[in-house]
Structure 1
Amino acid sequence: MKTSTRPSRRRPADVLPGVHGTARVDRRVASLLPRLRPGDIAVLDALDLDRQTAQALIDARVSAVVDASELISGRYPNLGPDLLAEAGVLLVDGIGAGGLAAVKDGSQVRVHEGQVYAGERAVASGRQLTHDAIATEMTAARQGMVSQLQSFTHNASEFLRREQDLLLHGLGLPSVSTSMTGRPVVVVSDARVMAAQHKRLRPFLREQDPVIVAVDEGADALVKAGVRPHVVMVTALAEPPSAKALRGARDVVVVVEPGAATGVVERLERLGVRCVVFETTATAEDAALLLADAQDPRVIITVGARASLEEFLDRGRSGLASTYLTRLKVARIVDSSAVPMLYSGKVRPRHLLLALLVCLAVVAAAVATTPVGQEWAQDAWTWLSDALADLWSQVS
């Protein structure tokens, strides 16, 4: 008797439920971000994913994020998961170190209901975060802010111990050719905020001629808006701005931790970009503020700086201490959202002309109500009528 040779009814991989894509795996987020391509599935290990990293993942257009650790641990209400969920990125966390090792970098995987599949086999399992789950956990995490603030004192004192010469005496600041003394300085650290506020800031940028300091991707946002940055601050572990933005700047400053490798300097020099190194454990944004403040500017305007308490805590322990102590050191800071309310622009000649015409109209109306004014008006009307009659007779 013949055995049946009917083909299997397996469903093709592309119709299986879930999100399909190429897995990009790296425990270190800074190393993973430059390798991401649209549609990839980012597999990483980041406890309490912050807003900045989340935005970088969104900009890379990943389809899913799989985390070995907890995206929301409950220590404080970190802003990254909610930002990713709003962008439609599938979120899975808690797959553990074993799950991270089981997912092969560059392999085709499928993520569905908290499972990571390689082919038809589940290689890692975690928890899928929905909008409702994120909202519930964020509410509970706000209770964790108390303990975060209690531990802050130690972190701040450690940062002050490491950077006391820089914060108290300005030692270690690099020398730049751009002079900021007595001039307004605009520090752009968030490309999205710059794109949203550029129209409102345009009168200030055009009329006050400030020194423009760009931090990382902020340089590309400025170039796109038609503004050339004078100084560009580059984080050593981040993807540098475009060569066009770097070459257009007068000064390029690479921010590295003391004793760390400076391979980014060699890469920039190969592009024909001369740069100086700023060794500090402060963030690039805070380093830009310290660099500007040391030259005694008139005012420092920040574009995209973290302002709320939740955004402040979202920066992580090292960034938290850096930001807090930098804000204590730098007093002349104004957020860009306040500039349109504080600066209405210069008085232009057309404004003076309009005011003059209005004044003349008011005076003419006042004079016209007097007997003398009425006589003048009658004489003027008679003269104008005669002049028009003469002109018409000449033309005809």
Structure 2
Amino acid sequence: MLKGRLRKGRRTKELVNHLRRGDIALISHEDLDLVAAESLARTGITVVLNEKKFISGRYPNLGPEHLLARNIKLYDCVPRELWALPDGTEVTLNEDHHVLFAGKDSFPLDSPLTMEEADLQLARTLDNFDRELEKFIDNTMEYARKEKQLILGLRDLPPLETSIWGRPVVVVVRGRDYKKDLGAIISYIKEARPVLMGVDGGADALLEYDLKPHIILGDMDSVSDRALLGKCERVVHAYTDGRVPGKERVEKLGVKYTVFAAPGTSEDAALLLAAGKGADLIVAVGTHSNMIDFLEKGRPGMGSTFLTRLKIGDKLVDARGLSKLYQGRLTLGWAAVLFAAATMPIAALLYASPGFRHLLYLLLYKLAGVMG
């Protein structure tokens, strides 16, 4: 039997900011992705109730297995009536898989998802992969044709106080493996001192490493108040249809901001802004680059991302590649080792010389006399 507060939210990345240890999360998230699952697991919740299917079978998604490996119970296709319960209601999940509310047997659930069932369902997704890939390619080409003029003709960049011209820029997105990628280039960041740009929750990723973002860009839906209230510039992403979803959030906090109207995702907008402001190198951390990445974000294609990367060209490098190439400056310890290795042959040759050996003995004799 499990007891906890029922916390509900149809947008998982927003809900995680309100979850606490022991809570029971109610979500509406088909094909739960790994990044969302990692965020849920970090909150310390015990159960996830999903209105939709954790694994639909369209493509392989690793989120459910990440939660199951941490002993978090998963129930999908739960009754929609659960949404009628007030947020924060104390509920009980009994051994018969019923949600009890106010002492009454209110909502029966199906059996929880197991690791074996998840493995089996993921194996079946491979049968659909080629079909999904074909649809994804068609959508990518269609959106690329529609959005090419918007991206090619993008000229109205917002004014920035942070100088980007001629400097490297690190753009951080809270995508798959973002922590590992960011950790791999810490030495580069400390030496090159690039402009740090966080895309929504990417700003909090920087703060996790004690790095302060210079610019935060996005819808402002998954970034913390702490990041937005920090000393930084805030650029709210406006979409081509006129929507500016992040405007209300920053105005409510009472912080200064500018608006950047650009097609595609906030990630695309950040890359276009960095390139348009004259960055000499753009290092991408946690960015989305393949079909599964985009399907997990609910995007049926990657037309704008394809065009964005085509426009930026060789200025854009992936953090994983940079970390392998970048060595950084030698530490003092390594410098001492190299100095010793370089001077040892010379010392050996000098010691082999009778004249030098006699001089060395004389010096040691004098030192012994002074000290003793």
Q: TM-score range by the shorter chain?
A: 0.7 to 0.9
- Distance in structure 2 (CA, Å) of the matches to 1:339 and 1:314: 26
1:140 equivalenced with 2:124 (yes/no):
yes
Q: Do the aligned residues in 2 keep the contact of 1:247 with 1:273 (CA within 8 Å)?
A: no
Q: Do the aligned residues in 1 keep the contact of 2:203 with 2:227 (CA within 8 Å)?
A: no
Which stretch has the larger CA shift, 286-295 or 162-171? 162-171
Residue 85 of structure 1 corresponds to 68
- Distance in structure 2 (CA, Å) of the matches to 1:313 and 1:191: 13
Letter in 2 for 1:93: D
Which stretch has the larger CA shift, 171-180 or 71-80? 171-180
SS in 2 for 1:48: coil
Which stretch has the larger CA shift, 114-123 or 23-32? 23-32
1:106 equivalenced with 2:88 (yes/no):
yes
SS in 1 for 2:52: coil
| Cα drift, residue 158 of structure 1 | 5.1
- Distance in structure 1 (CA, Å) of the matches to 2:28 and 2:104: 24
1:113-262 map, 5 Å: 114-118=97-101, 119-157=103-141, 159-160=143-144, 163-190=147-174, 193=177, 195-236=179-220, 238-243=221-226, 246-249=229-232, 251-257=233-239, 258-260=241-243, 262=245
Which stretch has the larger CA shift, 143-152 or 320-329? 320-329
Give the one of 317, 338, 341 matched to 2:321: 338
CA gap 1:150/1:209 in 2 versus in 1, 3 angstroms: same
> C-alpha offsets along residues 308-335 of structure 1, whole Å, 9 cap, x if unaligned?
6533432322574444444444433322
| Cα drift, residue 232 of structure 1 | 1.2
Q: Do the aligned residues in 2 keep the contact of 1:156 with 1:325 (CA within 8 Å)?
A: no
TM-score (norm 1): 0.78
> C-alpha offsets along residues 87-125 of structure 1, whole Å, 9 cap, x if unaligned?
32211111254x445655433223355543323414243
Q: Do the aligned residues in 2 keep the contact of 1:100 with 1:124 (CA within 8 Å)?
A: no
- Distance in structure 2 (CA, Å) of the matches to 1:27 and 1:340: 37
Q: Do the aligned residues in 2 keep the contact of 1:111 with 1:117 (CA within 8 Å)?
A: yes
SS in 1 for 2:7: strand
| Cα drift, residue 182 of structure 1 | 3.1
| Cα drift, residue 134 of structure 1 | 0.8
CA gap 1:197/1:155 in 2 versus in 1, 3 angstroms: closer
SS in 1 for 2:29: coil
Q: Do the aligned residues in 1 keep the contact of 2:79 with 2:107 (CA within 8 Å)?
A: no
SS in 2 for 1:129: coil
SS in 2 for 1:317: coil
| Cα drift, residue 20 of structure 1 | 1.9
Letter in 1 for 2:174: D
| Cα drift, residue 306 of structure 1 | 3.5
CA gap 1:309/1:160 in 2 versus in 1, 3 angstroms: closer
Residue 8 of structure 1 corresponds to none
- Distance in structure 2 (CA, Å) of the matches to 1:92 and 1:324: 37
Which stretch has the larger CA shift, 179-188 or 153-162? 153-162
Residue 382 of structure 1 corresponds to 358
| Cα drift, residue 74 of structure 1 | 0.8
- Distance in structure 1 (CA, Å) of the matches to 2:303 and 2:201: 23
Letter in 2 for 1:317: R
Letter in 1 for 2:127: Q
SS in 2 for 1:282: coil
CA gap 1:303/1:395 in 2 versus in 1, 3 angstroms: closer
1:313 equivalenced with 2:289 (yes/no):
no
- Distance in structure 1 (CA, Å) of the matches to 2:108 and 2:368: 95
Q: Share of identical aligned residues, percent? A: 32
How big is the alpha-carbon RMSD for the aligned residues of Structure 1 and Structure 2? 3.4
Residues paired across the two proteins, number: 368
Q: Do the aligned residues in 1 keep the contact of 2:74 with 2:112 (CA within 8 Å)?
A: yes
SS in 2 for 1:123: strand
Q: Do the aligned residues in 2 keep the contact of 1:187 with 1:288 (CA within 8 Å)?
A: yes
- Distance in structure 1 (CA, Å) of the matches to 2:207 and 2:8: 32
